[in-house]
Amino acid sequence: MHSSYHNNSGTTCHLESESITLTFGAEIATILRPGLIIFLNGNLGAGKTTLARGILRGLGHEGKVKSPTYNLVELYKISRLYFYHFDFYRFTDPIEWEEAGFREYFNESSICLVEWPEKAEKLLPIADIRISFTIIETGRKIEIQAGTEVGRQCLKDWQVKRNP
């Protein structure tokens, strides 16, 4: 499995392959709760959508997980949970944000996972958890940080699950 180390600014993990990214996503899925906002930062091809796929499969979604690059958002309804997967790479017009009603998607009963948050960061709420990807020779390096108390609690749950 992927290795990791923890310090004050967050946790760093090494994901050696696509399948390990998917497994890691399934692990993250177990600590998620309604209302969470997760940002995924990293270059084109860094593995953000792959991680989203792992999380959604972990939550029990059995169908396809396509990149929301063109539609900006894909909605998954998993039993009673609304899971919004955003990709703001092509987002340029703040008016579009209002017209699409994105603000309402960020609510207590939904989970929002956001690729390319930096393209809409002024409009977005604060992220509970931020995962930053770096492409390295041997796969991907990710850094996981909490931005809120709820995020900190989730990451604590995750640490406890990994090292009981």
The residue within the footprint of Mg ion, chosen from 15, 41, 49, 53 (CB under 5 A), is: 49
Cβ-based nearer residue to ligand ATP, 21 or 59: 21
Measuring CA to CA, how many Å separate 52 from each of 19, 46, 86?
13, 12, 10
Minimal distance in Å, beta carbon 18 to Mg ion?
Answer: 13
Interface contacts to ligand ATP, rule CB under 6 A: 15, 17-18, 20-21, 42, 44-50, 67, 87, 89, 115, 139-140
Minimal distance in Å, beta carbon 69 to Mg ion?
Answer: 7
Minimal distance in Å, beta carbon 72 to ligand ATP?
Answer: 12
What b-and-e string marks burial along 65-95, b requiring 16 or more CB atoms within 10 Å of the CB? bebbeeebebebeeeebebbbbbbbebeeee
